[in-house]
Amino acid sequence: MRVILIVSLFFAFLRVSADPILVGLNYGKEYLRATIFVESGTYSVTANQEEMFVIKAGQTLDLTASSGKINVFFDGKNLEGNTRIDLVPVSGSTFRIQPAGYKKSGRLYSAGLRAIAYQGRLQLINNIELEDYVSGVIEAESGKGHEIEYYKVQAVISRTYALNNLQRHAAEGYQLCDATHCQVYHGRPYAEPMAFSAARATRDIIIVDAEINLITAAFHSNCGGKTVNAEEVWSKPLSYCVSRVDSFCLEMPHSRWEKSITQERWNSYLSSKRSEYSIAQSDSQSYLSLSGRQYFLADSSLRIPSRVMREDLQLKSTLFRTENTGEHIRFMGRGFGHGVGLCQEGAMRMAQLGYCYEDIIHFYYADVHLIPRYMLWFFRD
C-alpha cells in the first residue's frame, strides 16, 4: 500500500509540475502586428497545430491579425488565414517581441509563444511552465537586491495567486495577464538571479486556508504600520486576511507620503461626492467614532469611503490625514497600496532580520498552511 501511494504521488508530482500556464502579454495594448526575434534555441512554428517551418536564433518573423485570422510572414513567404500560431520550443529557446507602433522592449521570454486574433487585434500569449513564470513575477513585483528569504515569500504568494486565478482571462484565450490586473510579469528575470533560486527552493509550495482551499494571496507594498481586514477594501471578509499591527515596515521607503491638491479642486471634489455619500445630519455623530481607514469624514454630513478617495485622487494609501493650508489641501499619509494581506516592505525587513519565509507568511496570513500543490487532494481527504 505504501509503495502504491509513493508511486502515485511521484506521478502526480510530475504531472502537476509540468503543467504550463498561458500568460497574455502586453495587457492593455492594442496592435495588429508584431515582430518576433528569436534570441536563442530553435522553434517549431505550427499553424493550427501542424508544423509549417523551423525558426532559429537570429531569425525573425512577423505576425499580423486580419479579419479574425493570423498571418505569418517569414523568409519571403506570407502564410495567411490561420486561427492560431504557436512557436513551440525545440531546445532552450528564448524570444523578444516588438509590437508595431511601440518602442522596442528589452523583455526576454522563454518557452513557447502563441498568437491568436481577439476582438480584431493580435493577442500574444506566453506558454510557459509555472515555476518559470513565478521567477519572472518575483523580479517584476519585488525588484532586485533583497534577501533570499523574501524572494521565497514572493515565490509562494505569487504561485498561490496564479493557481487561484487561472480562469481570470479564460474568455480571452489565456489564463493570466502580465499587468497588475493579475501579477506583474516581464518575462525572464534579468537583474536578480535569486529569483530563479527562490522559485526552485519553494517549488510547488502553496498557501491554503484552514479548509485546505487556496487563499487569495493579497499583497501590497507597505501597510503603514497596520494591515487591514479584507472587508474594509473588498466586499467580503477573508478569515486569513485580518488586521494586525506591523512595525517592520515603518522605516521602509514607502512608509510615508505626502500630496497636495488645490483648494478649488478639493471643493469641486467634495461637491461631486455629496449626492452619493451625504448622510443625515442626525446620524453624523455616529460616524465620528469610526476608526481605521474605512471612511473620511469631510464634514458633519459627508462621509466618503477612503478607498474611493484613494482611487479618485490617486493617493498612495487610505491611511492619511489632511491639512488645509488655505490655497491647498495637504494629504499626509502612511503606507502604499490597499493594505490587505502581506506587506512587502515589512516582509523584506523581516527577511533582513533573519526570519525564514514560512514565519513571514504566517505573520501576515492567519491560520494558513504551506503544502505542496500536488498534495491538495491528500490533505482535503
Domain range summary for the chain, segments of one domain joined by +: 20-128, 256-281+289-334
How far is Cα 314 from Cα 198, in angstroms, rounded to an integer?
A: 33
The rounded radius of gyration (Å) of the Cα atoms in the chain is 24
Q: 368 exposed, middle or buried (CB, 10 Å; 0-12, 13-18, 19+)?
A: buried
Distance separating alpha carbons of residues 95 and 109, to the nearest angstrom: 5
Looking at residue 289, its pLDDT comes to 38
Please name the amino acid found at residue 157.
I
CA dist 129 and 24 (Å) reads 14
pLDDT at 65: 96
Distance CA 189, CA 144 (A): 10
Per-residue pLDDT of the chain (381 residues; tens, 9 = 90+): 444 344 444 444 444 445 799 999 999 999 999 999 999 999 999 998 889 999 999 999 999 999 999 999 999 999 999 999 999 999 889 999 999 988 877 899 999 999 999 999 999 999 999 999 999 999 999 999 999 999 999 999 999 999 999 999 999 999 999 999 899 999 999 989 999 999 999 999 999 999 999 999 999 999 999 999 999 898 899 999 999 999 999 999 999 999 999 999 999 999 999 989 887 544 444 444 344 568 888 887 888 988 899 999 999 999 999 999 989 999 999 999 999 999 999 999 999 999 999 999 999 999 999 999 999 989 887
Q: Identify residue 160 by its one-letter amino acid code.
A: T
d(CA 337, CA 339): 6
CA 199 to chain CA centroid, Å, is 16
> Residue with C-alpha cell 505569487?
158
- Which CATH class for the 20-128 domain? mainly beta
Question: Are 333 and 319 spatial neighbours (Cβ–Cβ below 8 Å)?
Answer: yes
Three-state SS annotation for the chain? CHHHHHHHHHHHHHHHHCCEEEEECCCCCCCCEEEEEEEEEEEEEEECCEEEEEEECCCEEEEEEECCEEEEEECCEEEEEECEEEEEEEEEEEEEEEECCCCCCCCCEECEEEEEEECCEEEEEEEEEHHHHHHHHHHHHHCCCCCHHHHHHHHHHHHHHHHCCCCCCHHHCCCEECCCCCCCCCCCCCCCCHHHHHHHHCCCEEEECCCCCECCCCEECECCCECECHHHCCCCCCCCCCCCECCCCCCCCCCEEEEEEEHHHHHHHHHHHHHHHECCHHHHHHHCCCCCCCEEEEECCEEEEHHHHHHHHCCCCCCEEEEECCCEEEEEEECECCCECEEHHHHHHHHHCCCCHHHHHHHHCCCCEEEEHHHHHHHHC
CB 56 within 8 A of CB 50: no
